[in-house]
Amino acid sequence: MFDEQLIDQFTKLGYSHFKVPARENIEEYSTFGKGYNLDGKKEQIFHIHMCPKDNVMWKQIDFRDYLNANKKRAKEYEDLKIELASKFKNDRGSYVLGKTDFVKETLELIEKKPTHNNV
């Protein structure tokens, strides 16, 4: 599933590769990070997530679009991320897991949202 040549190319660009383990109906996928610094220096952090199109992680695009359209929910997510970043400064795994319920609840809101059909 993981393209070693692609991983090598991103590594040469300064990215670190992480295999995100499977969890709750989400298949294993790749993520690349750049800018992490455990000694406390602040740098711009970049993330690239890669997965097959049939992976449930593609719903993250719907999540992003929902937050862009719903400022109140976006603010709640911002507040959660700030809290988790402070609590799990050097523990990305716990930081990500701390967002899981919020993301899941938001995706459920999206699925329940009525669609407007002009038929």
Q: Which residues pair with 26 in a beta bridge?
A: 23
Give the tens place of pLDDT for each residue, 90-110. Answer: 787 888 889 999 999 999 999
Domain ranges of the chain: 1-51, 53-119
pLDDT of residue 76: 98
pTM, full prediction: 0.65
Alpha helical stretches, state H, 25-91: 60-69, 71-87
If you average pLDDT over residues 82-91, what whole number do you get? 90
Question: How is residue 31 written in tokens?
Answer: 């993520």
Q: Say what the pLDDT of residue 54 is.
A: 79
